[in-house]
């Protein structure tokens, strides 16, 4: 009887260990999406403080900002461009949140924004927020009021239609094209309501990459970036805040693309307006 009890105890223990291992693996995957890179910020950024004549940039968003270390790729694009000012970056980004999370009193984003005068603050809302344009507009209004006093320029990071390959986020009714049209309209309306707001047309650039180069920009979940998406998003943001074309060496920074693919992407990006409008230029959208 004791032996049986011991065997049962061993099985239970091993089962619990197995469940714990699965949970830990899930946590590690989630951390990789959910902010793991943020913990390494002091190790990956090039400058610990802004420098005279440089550019200070604060990124406020969620996993569309921190996945692939977008702020730090942008920082390295500036370092790779002899004509660009040295760039100091910081980031307030949490998994799955909307801008309302960052506007809340006591938020980390507001604390960082208030810690110095920034040259640029980049605002990135949750991609799903466009499904309710009225809520999106209210969140954008509150965010501009909260962050504009702390920056010379505020830039709206345009998200994109998700679900191009299905994945965990699924396909939207009407398909990616209909979702893309909703993204464009919602962001255009936001820009119109705030004439001083600048734009980083990432979603518009993604639409052109899909249409003209037939390349996917998201990974297996249909929402978060793949190598192509990270390359394009970083270049669009860099150009939007510096008014300079993406450096030829961009494909060597954090992402690995074939030389010809990188060249095709750079050519397309140089034809994309750096700020307004945020549309993809496609007719009837």
Q: Give the Å distances, CA to CA, from 147 to 59, 96, 130.
A: 11, 20, 21
Residues of the domain holding 208: 45-270
Most confident region among 84-88, 167-171, 261-265 by mean pLDDT? 84-88
- The verdict on residue 157 lying in a domain is yes
8 A C-beta contact, residue 146 and residue 105: no
Q: What angle do CA 21, 25, 31 make, to 5 degrees?
A: 140
Number of structural domains in the chain: 2
User: Does one domain contain both 78 and 7?
Assistant: no
Same domain, residue pair 205 and 261: yes
The verdict on 29 and 140 lying in the same domain is no
Q: Does residue 148 register a pLDDT over 80?
A: yes
Q: How many CA atoms lie within 13 A of 69 on its CB side?
A: 19
Same domain for 4 and 124: no
**pLDDT tens figures, 161-195:** 876 544 444 445 556 777 788 888 999 999 999 99
* pLDDT > 70 in the chain, percent: 73
Structural domain contains residue 278: no
Distance CA 127, CA 86 (A): 30
Residue 262 CA to residue 248 CA, distance in Å, equals 9
Confidence class of residue 124 from pLDDT cuts 50, 70 and 90? Answer: very high
Residue 153 has pLDDT above 80, yes or no: yes
Enter the pTM of the model.
0.79
Residue 87 has pLDDT above 50, yes or no: yes
**What's the CA gap between 187 and 64, in Å, rounded?**
16
Residue 174 is part of a domain; what is its CATH number?
3.40.50.1110
**Distance separating alpha carbons of residues 225 and 206, to the nearest angstrom:** 10
Tell whether 69 and 156 lie within a shared domain.
yes
- Examine residue 285 and state whether it is found in any structural domain, yes or no: no
Q: Is the pLDDT of residue 2 over 80?
A: no
Exposure b/e, 1-35, CB count within 10 A at least 16 = b: eeeeeeeeeeeeeeeeeeeeeeeeeeeeeeeebbb
Domain shared by 143 and 172, yes or no:
yes
Strand segments (E) across the chain:
55-61, 87-93, 118-124, 151-157, 198-200
101 and 16 belong to one structural domain: no
Rg (CA), the chain: 21
């Amino acid at each position: 009887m004791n032996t049986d009890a011991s065997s049962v105890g061993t099985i239970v223990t091993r089962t619990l260990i197995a469940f714990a291992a699965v949970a830990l693996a899930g946590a590690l995957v989630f951390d990789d999406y959910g902010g793991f890179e943020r913990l390494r910020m002091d190790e990956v950024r090039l400058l610990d403080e802004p420098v005279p004549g440089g550019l200070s940039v604060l990124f406020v968003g969620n996993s569309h900002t921190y996945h692939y270390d977008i702020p730090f790729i942008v920082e390295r694009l500036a370092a790779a461009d002899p004509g660009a000012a040295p760039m100091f970056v910081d980031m307030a980004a949490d998994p799955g949140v909307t801008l309302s999370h960052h506007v809340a009193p006591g938020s980390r984003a507001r604390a960082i924004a208030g810690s110095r005068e920034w040259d640029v603050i980049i605002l990135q809302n949750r991609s799903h927020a466009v499904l309710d344009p009225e809520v999106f507009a209210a969140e954008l209004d509150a965010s501009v009021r909260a962050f504009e006093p702390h920056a010379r320029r505020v830039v709206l990071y345009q998200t994109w239609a998700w679900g191009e390959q299905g994945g965990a986020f699924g396909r939207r009714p009407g398909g990616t094209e209909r979702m893309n049209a909703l993204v464009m309209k919602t962001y255009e309306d936001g820009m119109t309501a705030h004439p001083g707001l600048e734009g980083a047309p990432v979603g518009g650039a993604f639409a052109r990459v899909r249409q003209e180069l037939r390349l996917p920009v998201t990974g297996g979940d249909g929402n978060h970036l793949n190598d192509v998406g990270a390359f394009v998003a970083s270049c669009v943001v860099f150009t939007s805040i510096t008014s300079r074309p993406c450096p030829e060496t961009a494909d060597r920074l954090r992402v690995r693309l074939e030389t010809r693919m990188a060249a095709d992407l750079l050519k397309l990006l140089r034809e994309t307006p750096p700020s307004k409008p945020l549309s993809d230029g496609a007719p009837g959208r």
